[in-house]
C-alpha cells in the first residue's frame, strides 16, 4: 500500500514539473520543448489514472484522466504551433469525441482547419464553438478573421463588432498597461482595457479591402489604444498615416515597431521614408 502511494506521489510530482515546464516553454515560443513536456505530463497522469481506477478509486482516477486530457489538448496546440497541422487535427478530433460540448476544442479545431486552408470547415468549427460560448470575444474574432479571408466582408465586420461589444469574461481578455504609444493621449496612467487590439486590427483590414482608408486608420488607432505594442497595427497605422501625409505620426509608429522588432524590414523602410519626407 505504501509502495503504491509513493509511486502515485512520484508520478504526480513528475507530471506537475513537466506541466509547468511545458506551460512556460509554450508561452516563450519554445514549442518543441513544450511538446515533449506536455507528452510527459499526459503519460504520467494517465498512469496515475490507470492505477487509481484499478484500485477502485474511480472519482480520483477520473480527475487525473481529465488532467491528462487537458495536457493532451495542449500537446495538440504545440503541434499546431510547429505547423504539424494534420497531427494537431487528430488530437483535437480525438478530444472532441470525449468533450463534444467544449468551446475551446471547437475553437482549436477552427484554428487548425484554417491553417490547413479548409476555411469553410474552420468557419463551421467556430460557429460550433460559439454555440457553446456565444459571447466569447476571442472566438468571435476568430470567426471574423475566417469570414474576412473567404471574402465575407459584411459578415466579418458584423462579427468583429459583436466581439468588440461582448463583455470580456476572463482575465486574459483584459490588459492593464500604460499607453506608452497613443495617437491622441499623453496620459501615462495604467488603465484596464479589453484586450481587443487584434479585433480592431482585423476590422482595419476589412475597411482597407473595402477602400475605406479613414475608417481603417481609425480602427488602427483603437487597436493601439488597447495595446500600444501591437506590431501589426503599428505597421498598418504607419502605412495609412503616410497615405494621409501625416509623416510625423507615421514615423512614431515605425520607430515603436522597430523597438519591438529591430530587424523588421517594413518598419525600417517606413521609418526611412518618413525621415526623407520630414527632412525634405
| Cβ atoms 71, 22 nearer than 8 A | yes
Which stretches of 116-262 are DSSP H helices? 119-132, 137-149, 153-165, 197-209, 213-226, 231-243, 247-260
- Calculate the average pLDDT of the chain: 91
Report whether pLDDT(169) > 50: yes
The least confident of 132-146, 183-197, 252-266 is 183-197
Residue 175 bridge partners (DSSP): 193
If pLDDT is split at 50, 70 and 90, which confidence band does 188 have? low
Domains of the chain and any CATH numbers: 1-82 (1.20.58), 181-198+211-280 (1.25.40.10)
pLDDT tens, position by position, 225-259: 999 999 999 999 999 999 999 999 999 999 999 99
Share of the chain above pLDDT 70, in %: 90
| Cβ atoms 220, 199 nearer than 8 A | no
Amino acid at each position: 500500500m505504501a509502495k503504491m502511494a509513493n509511486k502515485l506521489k512520484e508520478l504526480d510530482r513528475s507530471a506537475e514539473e513537466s506541466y509547468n515546464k511545458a506551460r512556460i516553454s509554450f508561452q516563450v515560443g519554445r514549442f518543441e520543448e513544450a511538446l515533449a513536456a506536455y507528452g510527459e505530463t499526459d503519460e504520467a497522469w494517465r498512469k496515475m489514472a490507470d492505477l487509481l481506477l484499478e484500485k477502485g478509486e474511480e472519482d480520483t482516477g477520473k480527475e487525473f484522466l481529465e488532467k491528462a486530457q487537458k495536457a493532451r489538448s495542449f500537446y495538440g496546440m504545440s503541434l499546431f504551433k510547429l505547423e504539424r497541422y494534420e497531427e494537431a487535427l487528430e488530437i483535437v478530433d480525438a478530444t472532441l469525441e470525449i468533450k463534444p460540448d467544449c468551446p475551446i476544442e471547437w475553437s482549436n479545431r477552427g484554428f487548425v482547419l484554417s491553417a490547413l486552408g479548409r476555411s469553410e470547415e474552420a468557419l463551421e468549427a467556430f460557429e460550433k464553438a460559439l454555440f457553446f460560448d456565444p459571447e466569447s470575444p476571442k472566438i468571435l474574432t476568430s470567426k471574423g478573421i475566417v469570414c474576412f479571408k473567404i471574402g465575407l466582408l459584411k459578415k466579418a465586420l458584423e462579427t468583429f463588432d459583436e466581439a468588440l461589444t461582448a463583455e470580456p469574461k476572463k482575465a486574459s481578455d483584459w490588459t492593464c498597461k500604460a499607453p506608452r504609444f497613443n495617437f491622441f493621449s499623453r496620459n501615462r496612467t495604467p488603465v484596464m482595457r479589453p484586450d481587443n487590439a487584434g479585433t480592431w486590427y482585423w476590422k482595419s483590414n476589412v475597411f482597407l479591402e473595402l477602400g475605406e482608408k479613414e475608417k481603417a486608420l481609425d480602427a488602427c488607432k483603437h487597436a493601439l489604444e488597447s495595446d500600444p505594442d501591437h506590431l501589426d497595427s503599428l505597421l498598418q497605422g504607419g502605412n495609412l498615416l503616410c497615405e494621409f501625409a501625416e509623416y510625423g505620426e507615421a514615423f512614431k509608429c515605425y520607430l515603436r515597431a522597430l523597438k519591438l522588432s529591430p530587424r523588421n524590414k517594413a518598419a525600417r523602410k517606413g521609418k526611412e521614408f518618413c525621415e526623407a519626407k520630414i527632412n525634405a
